[in-house]
Every structure is written in C-alpha cells, then in structure tokens.
C-alpha cells in the first residue's frame, strides 16, 4: 500500500483579478501558506501556464516547475476540462460551449473540435515535460441531450454516439500513451461518461485502452444517488486522480435528482465544501489506500454557501487529517512466530 499524496488544490475556482489570485506566484504563495503541497493547474488559464510552450519547450516546462517548487509545491496534474469538453459537442450546445473556445474558432464546430483535440495533445506533451503521469479532463458529449429516453431513442443511437466519441479520443489516448501519461476522465453529468456503465461503454469502444483512466470525484455520484464506495471496488485499477469535493442530497416532495431548474443553493443535490456535506471521506480514503492509489488528493471547491477562502483553508486541513500513513508492520506481529515448516505441518496434523 501507498500513502496518498496531499493535500493539493485545483486552482480553477480560485483564479481572479485580485491578489493573491491573479498570478502564479501569488496564488502559489497563498496555497502553500494554507498547507497545500501541490497545485492542479487549469491549462486554459494563461496566467498560470502557456500550454503550447510547455509542450514545445522543455526549458520552459522546467522553469515553470522550478517556480512552483520554489514555494514548496509540486504540480499534481494539469487539467483540460474545458478543452476536453470541446472534443465532442452536440450542436444544441454549440452556443453555450463556444464560451470555452478562442475567438478564432467560435461558430465553427469543426475548427473548434480540431483546436480542442490539438490542445489536449499539447497537454500530454506538457505533462511529459513536467514529469507528470496523470492528466485530468472531460470527455465531451454527443448524447447527453438524450439521457432521459423521451422521446424514445432510436435503436443504435447510443452505440453510434459512443463509436464517434471513441473515434475522436483514440488518437488522443494513443498520443498520451506515447508520452507516458494517463488520461483521467472526470465522470460527470453533462458528459457522455457520467457513471460506471457509460465509462464501460466507452472503454469497450476504445478497446480497453490502458490510458483511458478515471478521475474519482464522489460528489457527482451523490447527486446521481450512485454508490460511490462500491464504485471504487469496481474501478480502483483505473482511478489515477482524485478530487476531494463534498456534496449533499436532500430530496423533498417537490424536487429530486433533476433539481427543478433551480439555482445551486436551492437544489436537492448540491456541492459543498469538504466536510460540510454527506460524503463518507473516511471510507473513501481507506478504500483508495487499501487499493494502493498512488496519486494526489486534490481539493476542488464548489460550494454555493461557504466563502472559497474559508473552504480552502479548511480543505487543506481536512485532507491532511484524512490521509492515512500506511503501516509497515502487522498489528499482531507481537504474537507471531518464526517461519517453521515442521510446526505448520504439525498444526495441520500432517506429521
């Protein structure tokens, strides 16, 4: 078993126009002051990283890594959640998801897809240059608008959707394999990979690609009412990244999992700061440690109630207190006996 690394923090929700959240140096200094040991970098944030340059210049990557190290931090993973989303977008969502794309490709779905694929590939090479072995992303979606079968889905629609998704991702997965980096899909509502079954459907279409791995975030499973503990038992071999994000689900006589189009604060299912929701993190950390998870525990803050700075401060301590330092001895060693084949055979009644 391995002691989980952490605490780390995903910087996406903390970047802003005011210090210390407006530059790499100041936000690293802030994160380190709270006790974080690593940062997960959103690669669409140009104040944190020039992704293309990190892919093309080992010197730049070394300098970036060195700067972050100077604050006593490491890089846990790079993230292309927004760019990965754009690898596959149904036309119904074109206008909304164009917000994630540069102006040069907005309004041109083909060009936007090509840009997204190339950008995610940049992240593979940049990860390699930075010495990282896992990468966080979304899968995108061609089928989400059909998740509730009304009207009925035509026969073969789902299969065709996953076939196309796999067609787009297989060359990316192959390139990540060349770079020695795992693609960790965050299983998330709005993506075609939103639960265990959909992940398995995708995995089958990419021929069980060894780099098609998982980012485990239990909060999304609370909102779906999925057994997030058993999920680890099923998929622990593929879990290579971990978001520590809490959630709660409180159904009423007026709303349930679909949320009634309400704001986050007024939904039955909503995200909370670590420790404020219903997720059983004690069991999660025990399970991941038992299964020898070797990655980082990364706090992702998405709470509709608590101030983010309070969530970050509390989150660092929350993760640190949940990390289990693995034992190097058995608890009953004191009562053990030296190896003795003759004794063992005697106990078994064989001599």
Task: Write out the two tokens for 131.
Answer: 């010495």
- pLDDT (tens digit, 9 = 90+) per residue, 278-329? 999 999 999 999 999 999 999 999 999 999 999 999 999 999 999 999 988 8
pTM of the model: 0.96
The Cα–Cα gap between 202 and 227 comes to 20
Q: Report domain 5-347's class.
A: alpha beta
Q: What pLDDT, on a 0 to 100 scale, did the predictor assign at position 101?
A: 98
Report the percentage of the chain scoring pLDDT > 90.
Answer: 93
Is the pLDDT assigned to residue 336 strictly greater than 90?
no
- pLDDT (tens digit, 9 = 90+) per residue, 57-104? 999 999 999 999 999 999 999 999 999 999 999 999 999 999 999 999
The Cα–Cα gap between 24 and 152 comes to 49
Q: What is the DSSP letter of 153?
A: P
Q: What pLDDT, on a 0 to 100 scale, did the predictor assign at position 94?
A: 96
Pick the closest to residue 54 from 103, 119, 122 (CA basis): 122
- pLDDT (tens digit, 9 = 90+) per residue, 235-294? 999 999 999 999 999 999 999 999 999 999 999 999 999 999 999 999 999 999 999 999
The Cα–Cα gap between 92 and 180 comes to 35
Q: What pLDDT, on a 0 to 100 scale, did the predictor assign at position 329?
A: 83
Q: What pLDDT, on a 0 to 100 scale, did the predictor assign at position 260?
A: 96
Q: Is the CB of residue 27 less than 8 Å from the CB of residue 42? A: no
Q: What pLDDT, on a 0 to 100 scale, did the predictor assign at position 325?
A: 96
Rounded mean pLDDT of 25-47?
98
Q: What pLDDT, on a 0 to 100 scale, did the predictor assign at position 339?
A: 86
Q: What pLDDT, on a 0 to 100 scale, did the predictor assign at position 338?
A: 85
Give domain limits for the chain.
5-347
- pLDDT (tens digit, 9 = 90+) per residue, 109-158? 999 999 999 999 999 999 999 999 999 999 999 999 999 999 999 999 99
Q: What pLDDT, on a 0 to 100 scale, did the predictor assign at position 330?
A: 80
Query: What backbone torsions phi and psi does residue 215 show, to the nearest 5 degrees?
Result: -100, 115
Pick the closest to residue 80 from 6, 177, 22, 12 (CA basis): 12
Is the pLDDT assigned to residue 334 strictly greater than 80?
no
Give 343 or 300, the one with higher predicted confidence.
300
pLDDT averaged over every residue in the chain = 97
- pLDDT (tens digit, 9 = 90+) per residue, 147-173? 999 999 999 999 999 999 999 999 999
Q: What pLDDT, on a 0 to 100 scale, did the predictor assign at position 50?
A: 98
pLDDT tier at 351 (50, 70, 90 boundaries)? Answer: confident
């Amino acid at each position: 078993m391995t002691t989980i690394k952490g605490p780390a923090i995903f910087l996406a929700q903390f970047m802003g126009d005011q210090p210390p959240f407006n530059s790499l140096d100041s936000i690293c200094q802030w994160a380190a002051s709270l006790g974080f040991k690593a940062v997960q970098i959103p690669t669409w944030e140009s104040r944190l990283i020039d992704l293309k340059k990190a892919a093309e210049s080992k010197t730049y990557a070394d300098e970036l890594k060195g700067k972050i190290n100077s604050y006593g931090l490491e890089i846990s993973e790079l993230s292309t959640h927004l760019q990965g989303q754009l690898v596959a977008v149904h036309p119904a969502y074109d206008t909304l998801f164009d917000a994630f794309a540069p102006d040069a490709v907005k309004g041109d779905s083909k060009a936007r897809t090509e840009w997204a694929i190339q950008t995610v590939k940049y992240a593979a090479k940049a990860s390699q240059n930075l010495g990282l072995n896992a990468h966080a992303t979304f899968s995108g979606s061609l089928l989400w608008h059909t998740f509730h079968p009304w009207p009925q889905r035509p026969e073969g629609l789902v299969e065709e959707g996953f076939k196309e998704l796999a067609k787009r991702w297989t060359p990316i997965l192959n390139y990540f394999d060349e770079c020695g980096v795992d693609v960790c899909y965050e299983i998330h509502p709005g993506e075609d990979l939103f639960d265990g079954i959909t992940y398995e459907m995708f995995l089958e279409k990419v021929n069980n690609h060894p780099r098609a791995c998982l980012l485990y975030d239990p909060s999304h499973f609370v909102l779906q009412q999925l057994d997030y503990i058993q999920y680890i038992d099923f998929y622990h071999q593929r879990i290579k990244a971990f978001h520590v994000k809490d959630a709660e689900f409180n159904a009423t006589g007026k709303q349930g999992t679909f949320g009634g189009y309400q704001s986050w604060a007024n939904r039955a299912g909503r995200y909370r700061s670590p420790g404020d929701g219903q997720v059983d993190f004690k069991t999660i950390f025990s399970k991941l440690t038992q299964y020898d998870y070797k990655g980082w525990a990364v706090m992702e803050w998405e709470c509709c109630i608590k101030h983010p700075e309070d969530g970050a401060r509390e989150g660092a301590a929350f993760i640190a207190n949940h990390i289990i330092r693995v034992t190097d001895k058995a608890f009953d060693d004191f009562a053990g006996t030296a190896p003795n084949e003759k004794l063992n055979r005697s106990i078994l009644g064989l001599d």
